[in-house]
Amino acid sequence: KLVKKIKVKGIEVKGNTGTNRYVFLDRIHVSSSSYPTATIQMEFEQKQGSGIKKVLKRVKEKDNLYDLSGGLAQYKDQFIVS
């Protein structure tokens, strides 16, 4: 009897009510050779004085949205991709 083993990767969203911060899941990227990543739309502070804009960012596990946002306060506490 032959049995093929497969690996399963999953994505789960926890604790995002959408009331204080803006994060929009645009796309999930799944690969057989690496962990899943996602493309999200989030707010980003432009350093050239042009204000806050919504941008697409590709994120992976353990990415910190506070760092990716250019230091916006709304992403400061516990916004780490897991």
Residue 75 burial class via C-beta count within 10 angstroms: exposed 0-12, middle 13-18, buried 19 and up: buried
As for how many domains the chain has, the answer is 1
Residue 11 lies in a domain: no
Name the residue with higher pLDDT: 60 or 77: 60
Q: Side chain identity at 25, as an amino acid letter?
A: L
pLDDT value of residue 60: 93
Residue 7 lies in a domain: no
Q: What is the pLDDT of residues 1-57, one digit of tens each?
A: 777 777 766 666 565 555 567 888 999 999 889 899 999 999 888 777 677 888 999
pLDDT value of residue 73: 86
Residue 31 lies in a domain: yes
Name the residue with higher pLDDT: 63 or 49: 63
The arrangement of strands across the sheet holding 23-29 comes to 23-29, 37-45, 52-59
Per the CB < 8 A criterion, the answer to whether 63 and 80 are in contact is yes
Per the CB < 8 A criterion, the answer to whether 66 and 76 are in contact is yes
Q: Side chain identity at 71, as an amino acid letter?
A: G
